[in-house]
Amino acid sequence: MSRVRNAHIARLPYAPEILGRVEVDCPDDLVAGSMATIRITYTAGKFGIDDQGSIRVLFRFASDSGRPQFERPNAPNFVTMGSSNNATLVPEYHPRGGFRPWFKAIRVNVMKHFLAEGDSISLVLGDKSQGSAGWRVQSLREPLFEVRVQADPFGAVVYGDVAGGKQIHIVPGEPALWKLLLPTLIGVDEPFRLCIRAEDRCGNPTTHTHGRFRLVSSAPVAGLPEWIEATPAAHPIVLDGLRVASAGELSIELVGENKQTCAVSNPLRALQAPPLRHYWGDFHAQSEETIGTNTARDYFLFARDRAFSDFVGHQGNDFQITTPFWNQLNELYREFNDPGRFVTLPGYEYSPVTALGGDRNIFFFDEGRPIRRSSHALVEDVSDIDTDCNHVNELFQALRAAGENALAFAHVGGRYADLRAGHDGHIEKSVEVHSAWGTFEWILFDAFELGHRVGVVCNSDDHKGRPGASHPGASMFGAYGGLTCLLAPELSRAAIWDCLQRRHHYGTTGERMLLDVRAIFAADAERYDSDPKLGAATSAPVREAMMGDIVRTQASSARIAVSAAASTPIERIDLRCGEKTVETFRPYAAKALGRRIRVIWEGSEYRGRGRMSTWDGHLEISGNEIESFEPVNFWHLEKELRRSGANRLEWESVTTGNFAGADITLKSAAAGTLAIATPHVKATLALRDIGYEDTVFEAGGLWRRLRVFRLPDSNPHRACSFEREVPVAAHGDTPVYVRVTLENGHQAWSSPIYLFH
């Protein structure tokens, strides 16, 4: 299989054989996340390597293998090197020392001497000879992981590829957890399927499965076997043709032969002839042809056959999408689009610099539409450069002028979408509040402030070849990738398009859960089919509205009905009008609180690329004892929560707008004190003062703070419903939505219902 190379850089005009040859010695298969040793030997070519010339070993941006280090021989990721002629070698590691997408570079500088043709340099990644555990292999599966070596023989800091090399298979490890996926909303006696997959500790679907498991349903399911056999040949497991005979909710447990529950499915709700179904997918991720991992074909296969998504988009950065690749993508969109089973949505990521509007996800109803790039930064063929739209408003104008059937989401990635720089309500229908980059509710608040009526989506922006099931691994991505749930009558491109136009959807941080939010009116209200701010819009009288609707009401208030169900306990639901929290609903009363406290840190430094906040710290209990503890949202392989004393916990942790924390069960509910020390907050508080409401310590930055509160010893509430009366503002919009937080750290956001007089 050939690999995509980006040549749009200064490079030497010589064949690889002229510049030298590399040999790589390591096993053909390496387990994702494992510790390994890789020996790389470079033999100089015709020009040798001059004094102050260098070679560099390149890794893709998306690779999260261990950060090379050269000073601590008994620590992980230790790298040694030597030359055949005893030339002095000076190593450097540069996270952005290469070129996109081969950003990461180990550079070996030849100093005080030179290499002649035939002389060699050897590097050992993960040299274990002095006590190092080895080099940590990247967390993501990749059938063709490449160790790419380049040489700069002239000391001009201009490189060219050398001959040789090796492609390594990064393979999944042993199962660490199981996942069971059911549809969220179906009709009674309507056939559905149960999808079962095992994942290794890095989030890769794995076929290293064996054993016999029992399936236990909370309600009768026709066609559900009592036992299943998990074998490598039969993984993942898909059970089709299941049915339920009556309305209600159910979940299914996977129970091992040791009678221990391995996993619980997301809840399924069955109704008599529901007008809408719930469809799950990921609109936004990339493959290796831009800055992701694995091929575009593998991307679509993974989304359909491993993540079990109902729909998917592909969002490569426009300035790296060549015309041939754009044509290939459109062929793949067409090939994989299969209404009723799996729907693709053509598009790309429009990626101007922040000052010109920032990132937007662009979608088309059908294939074959022209790509209008933000620039040709990495596209050498400039024959169509006159179609570039450098500013986001230029793009919106061009799409409108051409009559394109297009939609957009505002996205926060490396660059963030600046809604103040530009927005078009005819095209830009939603904002993305969560991805693997973190959580960004502030972009929704920006939309409210500017008077925009947008929906909420959550996607992954996955770079690791796992669209729809995007574990962040061990890189700068700080969160599990999100999912969007569409409320539509059928699974087709037309139904999805209409759903997006109407904002009938909600987003989660990757957990499939059921969420229903409705506004109920005592008298007829007027629901619009499109935003009346944007021009003439048809309407109809209603007594009820769903998430995403735009409704004019003469009443001073509306009744908001909320229903949520998940596979794990619900910690809270925040009911909001715009940026303001009207009420925080907890499914348990204050009298149910027990010996369990939760410490949460959250937020980010600022909006841009350097938003990551480090929370490395510790807490200590005095006058009491820690019986047990659990981490919350600790995704990074090399960052952990651990006990460092009988009553002391330590951790390494980062947040990028999302949150992480610790769940602690105490021996006594109220005795003693809690002392917390982090780079942003240092605090001491009496345990008796930790209660139902959050104790909040603000920490500057962007929504950065630390919170402490108490939980029941056991929370049985995996489903809850409530209704509240919400006032409608006399002027302007009242955007009503909810944010659901589960005890396992996952969250969901409904698209707002826009109420106005």
Q: What average pLDDT does the segment 577-592 reach?
A: 96
Q: What average pLDDT does the segment 512-516 reach?
A: 98
pLDDT value at position 473?
A: 85
Do residues 312 and 446 share a domain? yes
Q: Which CATH number goes with the domain that contains 652?
A: 2.60.40
Over residues 540-554, the pLDDT tens digits come to 999 999 999 999 999
Name the band, by pLDDT with cuts 50, 70 and 90, for residue 688. very high
Mean pLDDT over each residue of the chain, to the nearest integer: 95
Q: Is residue 241 part of a domain?
A: yes
pLDDT value at position 7?
A: 44
Q: Tell me the percentage of the chain whose pLDDT exceeds 90.
A: 94
Provide the token pair at 508. 């989660």
- If you write DSSP's letter for every residue of 711-743 in order, what string do you get? EESS---SEEEEEEEEEPPSSS-EEEEEEEEET
pLDDT value at position 650?
A: 98
Q: Is residue 2 part of a domain?
A: no
Q: Which CATH number goes with the domain that contains 50?
A: 2.60.40.2110
Distance CA(281)–CA(304), nearest Å, equals: 9
pLDDT value at position 2?
A: 45
pLDDT value at position 11?
A: 85
Instruction: Give yes or no for a contact between 548 and 276, defined as CB atoms under 8 angstroms apart.
Output: no
Do residues 268 and 164 share a domain? no
pLDDT value at position 476?
A: 74
Decide which of 484, 512, 540 is a domain's last residue: 512
Distance CA(262)–CA(180), nearest Å, equals: 10
Do residues 610 and 753 share a domain? no
Q: Given the structure tokens 């070849």, which residue do they identify?
A: 465
Name the band, by pLDDT with cuts 50, 70 and 90, for residue 519. very high
Over residues 597-648, the pLDDT tens digits come to 999 999 999 999 889 999 999 999 999 999 999 999 999 888 999 999 999 9
Q: Is residue 9 part of a domain?
A: no
Q: Is residue 568 part of a domain?
A: yes
Distance CA(614)–CA(651), nearest Å, equals: 11
Q: Which CATH number goes with the domain that contains 439?
A: 3.20.20.140
Least Cα distance to 236 among 399, 52, 469 occurs for: 469
Q: Which CATH number goes with the domain that contains 221?
A: 2.60.40.10
Do residues 264 and 288 share a domain? no
Q: Is residue 8 part of a domain?
A: no
Do residues 439 and 390 share a domain? yes
pLDDT value at position 9?
A: 56
Instruction: Count Cβ atoms below 10 Å from residue 131 Cβ, excluding itself.
Output: 11
Over residues 248-305, the pLDDT tens digits come to 999 999 999 899 999 999 999 999 999 999 999 999 999 999 999 999 999 999 999 9
Q: Does pLDDT of 6 surpass 70? A: no
Q: HSE of 81 in the Cβ direction (CA atoms, 13 Å)? A: 27
Q: HSE of 604 in the Cβ direction (CA atoms, 13 Å)? A: 21
Decide which of 119, 151, 171 is a domain's last residue: 171
pLDDT value at position 320?
A: 96
pLDDT value at position 306?
A: 96
The domain tally of the chain equals 5
Least Cα distance to 669 among 685, 689, 687 occurs for: 687
Over residues 50-81, the pLDDT tens digits come to 999 999 999 999 899 999 999 999 999 999 99
Domain that holds residue 82: 16-171
Q: Is residue 6 part of a domain?
A: no
Q: Is residue 3 part of a domain?
A: no
Name the band, by pLDDT with cuts 50, 70 and 90, for residue 679. very high
First vs last Cα of the chain: how many Å apart? Answer: 61
Over residues 396-417, the pLDDT tens digits come to 999 999 999 999 999 998 899 9
pLDDT value at position 60?
A: 92
Omega cis (within 30) before 236? yes
Decide which of 146, 171, 196 is a domain's last residue: 171
Do residues 597 and 565 share a domain? no
pLDDT value at position 512?
A: 97
Return the sign of the alpha-carbon dihedral for residues 621, 622, 623, 627: positive
Q: Is residue 4 part of a domain?
A: no
Distance CA(730)–CA(753), nearest Å, equals: 16
Do residues 490 and 381 share a domain? yes
Over residues 696-749, the pLDDT tens digits come to 999 999 999 999 999 999 999 999 999 999 999 999 999 999 999 999 999 999
Name the band, by pLDDT with cuts 50, 70 and 90, for residue 469. very high
Q: Does pLDDT of 3 surpass 70? A: no
Instruction: Count Cβ atoms below 10 Å from residue 184 Cβ, excluding itself.
Output: 20
Q: Does pLDDT of 493 surpass 50? A: yes
Do residues 700 and 633 share a domain? yes
Instruction: Give yes or no for a contact between 470 and 444, defined as CB atoms under 8 angstroms apart.
Output: no
Q: What average pLDDT does the segment 371-378 reach?
A: 96
Distance CA(522)–CA(188), nearest Å, equals: 31
Q: Name, in order, each residue with C-beta under 8 angstroms of 32's C-beta and a sequence gap of 6 or more.
A: 137, 138, 139, 140, 141, 170, 171, 172, 173, 200, 202, 204
Do residues 328 and 398 share a domain? yes
Q: Does pLDDT of 509 surpass 80? A: yes
Do residues 576 and 613 share a domain? no
pLDDT value at position 1?
A: 41
Do residues 345 and 221 share a domain? no
Do residues 254 and 230 share a domain? yes
How would you class 683 by CB atoms within 10 Å of its CB: exposed for 0-12, middle for 13-18, buried for 19 or more?
middle
Provide the token pair at 756. 């106005």
Q: Does pLDDT of 511 surpass 70? A: yes
Q: How far is CA 35 from CA 31, 78, 350, 581, in A?
A: 8, 11, 38, 46
Name the band, by pLDDT with cuts 50, 70 and 90, for residue 467. very high
